[in-house]
Amino acid sequence: MSRLSRRELLKISAASGLGSALSLAGIPHAVAQQGEQLLVVMWGAAWIEVSRKIVDAYVVKTGDKVAWELHAGGAMAIVAKVKPAWPHVNYNLISGWDPVFRAMIKEDWVEPVTLDEMPALKDIPPVFFQKNAKGELMTVPLSTAGAFWGYRTDLVDKPIESIEQLLEPRFKGKLCVPFPVNLTGLLMLTLAMQRGGNERNIEPGWGFLKELAERGQIGRVINNNSEFINAMSSGETSVAFFNIGAWTQVRKQFPVKIMSKIKDNKGFLFNEGFAVIKQNDPKKVAAAKRLANHFATPEINEQYNWPLGEGPTNPKSKANPDIADVFYKPDELAQYAYIADFEYMASQVDGWAKRWEQEIAPLIRRS
């Protein structure tokens, strides 16, 4: 009978300890050595919840490991965070939407994606992608989202037909609006369009906004999804303009009418998704593309968008029936929907933010 030496015993113990640790972490031994560590930026609330669920299964399958970082405030904040650190950033995938992607593409931080590397993208309509000057695909569109006016029907006595009605005394202190930087100034655009303006003729919007502020209608100014959900769920405010994802979270608990089809105004459509960030290590880039592709596959794209209340970009995925009343049929698009010139608006938001601080905030404070 052979006896184990002390050195052999230590070796076996160390090996079995490591094996147990890997098994406990749910990582198969062989794959654990191959996996890449990725850092992904995602929104909080329902976005991170559903993403974690998707990635938990993905990690076991591929051996890639994913660490999360949440957006602080609007998605544009990540751009300000990357800028001082570039090129020494560890982000591999950043979730965002069209204007944020335009800013990142302009700074040359984004890795182009191809249909050969990411087969799931072949299903996605080309119009959803953001492209660079060479026409290369620069984003991985995952959701079709929108920004709309809406209200809680349990807190508003009569239905709202037009946002002109928001000037009525019954809405004093009841309006929740985003700071003009948020949604890249879509609030300014909807108000301008109500009075005959557009992105390049925003002045009518300022006139409308001043009337609302002077009459004390604005009860809360928000900067992110969580603030919106808090303000609308607590009943502090009953009417708001914000993105469909945040509206969906409120709709899960309270009766809400989303005014996506108003006769004298429009709803705004845009895409959300991932940008693959440039990195020196090609293995990390490949792993980031692998993960983004996974999110774009029909099954996962459906699983991702269902709880968010956003439309899947992959036509093979089914949309949540709860949002059927919000989004548009093809023949309704021209009448009710509007796709803003986000590139132009992004160049204006600094001026709009300052004008808000100088002209609107003092009115709200005084009213």
* Chain residues in the site for another protein (CB under 8 A): 72-74, 76-77, 79-81, 83-84, 103, 106-107, 172-174, 179, 181-182, 216, 218-223, 227, 230-231, 234-236, 343, 346-351, 353-354, 357-359, 361-362, 364-367
Nearer to another protein, 61 or 83 (CB): 83
Shortest distance (Å) from residue 138 CB to another protein: 16
Nearer to another protein, 236 or 322 (CB): 236
Shortest distance (Å) from residue 246 CB to another protein: 15
Shortest distance (Å) from residue 362 CB to another protein: 5
Shortest distance (Å) from residue 299 CB to another protein: 35
Per residue, the 3-state secondary structure of the chain, as one string, reads CCCCCHHHHHHHHHHHHHHHHHHHCCCCHHHHHHCCEEEEEECCHHHHHHHHHHHHHHHHHHCCEEEEEECCCCCCHHHHHHHHHCCCCCCCEEEEEHHHHHHHHHCCCECCECCCCCHHHHHCCHHHCCECCCCCECCEEEEEEEEEEEEECCCCCCCCCCHHHHHCHHHCCCEEEECCCHHHHHHHHHHHHHCCCECCECHHHHHHHHHHHHCCCEEEEECCHHHHHHHHHCCCCCEEEEEHHHHHHHHCCCCEEEECCCCCCCEEEEEEEEEEECCCCHHHHHHHHHHHHHHHCHHHHHHHHHHHCCEECCCCCCCCHHHCCCCCCHHHHHHHEECCCHHHHHHHHHHHHHHHHHHHHHHHHHC
Nearer to another protein, 107 or 322 (CB): 107
Nearer to another protein, 53 or 354 (CB): 354
Shortest distance (Å) from residue 338 CB to another protein: 21
Nearer to another protein, 127 or 133 (CB): 133
